[in-house]
Structures are given as structure tokens and as C-alpha cells.
């Protein structure tokens, strides 16, 4: 497992809540276990009720990291993440399990050993270390919050041109449609009012003309 994989854990945790919509799916132990996905079953099984509250606290702090990065406050984002790294240290180990090359030899890579006292500490250590790797490799400006209201989900921009502004294609489409409609409304509001067409009055005939026509 590569260290960059762990950054997805940070994004996954932050996006269990959508503050603008008032939704939160991190409400029970099963939701905590689901965060780990299929790759960490042993750790996930140790989840207890207390991890719900503990992970919510970590979630708020990770969202603050993404928020600071999105606002261009690089130093603040790094300081917030460093505080988490200090609180949830990792135990890196070299691993080769489950990864073999064509010759059957292990493909050695860094792995974060799981020796923390509780599930929250395990999750936070992996997520924060992964996020730190991405931040230092790609840059603080690659961390962001979706600009499509009311979403504001966290994302990591891995595009080649640093152009990502939304967490998904769905949000990008919705934002583009909303922007198009806003432009059309503005165009209509700024359009000068149409002048009413003045109709020419029908000519009237005198009584003498009417008598001659009759």
C-alpha cells in the first residue's frame, strides 16, 4: 500500500458531513467501519461507539486544513496539519506483502503500521500522514473545497494543470449550468426595455366625403 493512498482516508472522513446541507452520515459504528473500506478489516472491527465522537473531532480539524488551503492560507493549513501529525503519530514500516513483481519478488513500499490505542487514532494517523505526503509532493494549493454550492466537499487536485475546482463531474456540471443561468438573468436585467410600437390612427372621413362615397 502506498502512502498516497492514505490521503483518500482524509477526504473520505471530511466528506461524511455536508455542513451547508446539515447532513452527517457518521452516526454509528458501521459508518466508522465503512470509512476504512475493504483494505483495513482488522482495524475496522475494533470500532466502538466512542470512535464516532472522536472521529467527528478529527473531521472538523481536517476540514479546517482543506479550508485554509482553499483560501490560500498555506502556512495555516500546514500548521493545522502538523498539529494533527503531532497528536496522531505514525509508525512507518517497509512492507512487501501482496505486491509481487513478475519475478515473484516483493515490491517494497512504505506501510503505516497499525499500533494505536483506538480506531480513531489509527484512522487519523493514516489519513494525516497520507495528506501530508500529498501536500508536500503536490503543493498546498492542491487541497480544496468544492466550489459548487451547497456541496463544499473536500478534494485533492491531481490534475496536470491545477485546474480542479469541484469534487466531482456532477458538481462541475451543476455549477456550470447555474453560472449559465445567472449570466442569462443578468443579460435580461441589463437589456434596454423595448419601446412600444406606436400605431398610426386611421384617417377619419368628413360627413361630406361619406355622402359622396355613398
Q: Residue range 57-82: average pLDDT?
A: 97
pLDDT at 212: 58
> What is the overall mean pLDDT for the chain?
84
Q: Do 47 and 32 touch, CB atoms closer than 8 A? A: yes
All cell numbers assigned to 163:
485546474
CA–CA distance, 68 with 76 (Å, rounded to integer) = 6
pTM of the model: 0.77
Of the listed ranges 117-131, 139-153, 166-180, 190-204, the one predicted with least confidence: 190-204
CA–CA distance, 76 with 94 (Å, rounded to integer) = 31
Beta bridge partners of 94: 110
CA–CA distance, 148 with 115 (Å, rounded to integer) = 39
Write the pLDDT tens digit of every residue in 4-47: 788 999 999 999 999 988 999 999 999 999 999 887 788 899 99
All cell numbers assigned to 40:
483495513
Tell me which residue of 132, 172, 174, 139 sits closest to 158, measured CA to CA.
Answer: 139
104: left (phi over 0), alpha (psi -120 to 50) or beta: left
Q: Residue range 52-61: average pLDDT?
A: 98
- In whole angstroms, how large is the CA radius of gyration of the chain? 30
Amino acid at each position: 500500500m502506498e502512502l498516497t493512498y492514505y490521503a483518500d482516508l482524509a477526504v473520505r472522513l471530511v466528506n461524511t458531513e455536508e455542513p451547508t446541507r446539515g447532513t452527517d452520515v457518521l452516526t454509528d459504528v458501521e459508518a466508522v467501519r465503512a470509512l476504512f473500506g475493504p483494505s483495513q478489516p482488522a482495524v475496522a472491527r475494533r470500532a466502538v461507539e466512542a470512535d464516532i465522537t472522536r472521529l467527528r473531532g478529527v473531521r472538523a480539524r481536517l476540514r479546517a486544513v482543506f479550508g485554509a488551503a482553499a483560501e490560500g492560507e498555506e502556512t495555516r493549513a500546514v500548521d493545522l496539519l502538523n498539529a494533527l501529525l503531532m497528536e496522531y503519530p505514525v509508525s512507518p514500516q517497509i512492507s512487501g506483502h501482496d505486491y509481487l513483481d513478475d519475478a515473484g519478488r516483493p515490491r517494497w513500499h512504505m506501510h503505516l503500521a497499525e499500533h494505536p490505542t483506538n480506531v480513531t487514532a489509527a484512522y487519523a494517523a493514516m489519513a494525516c500522514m497520507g495528506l501530508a505526503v500529498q501536500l508536500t509532493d503536490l503543493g498546498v494549493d492542491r487541497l480544496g473545497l468544492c466550489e459548487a454550492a451547497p456541496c463544499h466537499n473536500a478534494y485533492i487536485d491531481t490534475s496536470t494543470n491545477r485546474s480542479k475546482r469541484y469534487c466531482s463531474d456532477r458538481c462541475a456540471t451543476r455549477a456550470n449550468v447555474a453560472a449559465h443561468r445567472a449570466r442569462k438573468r443578468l443579460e435580461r436585467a441589463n437589456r434596454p426595455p423595448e419601446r412600444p410600437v406606436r400605431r398610426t390612427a386611421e384617417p377619419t372621413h368628413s360627413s361630406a366625403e361619406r355622402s359622396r362615397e355613398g
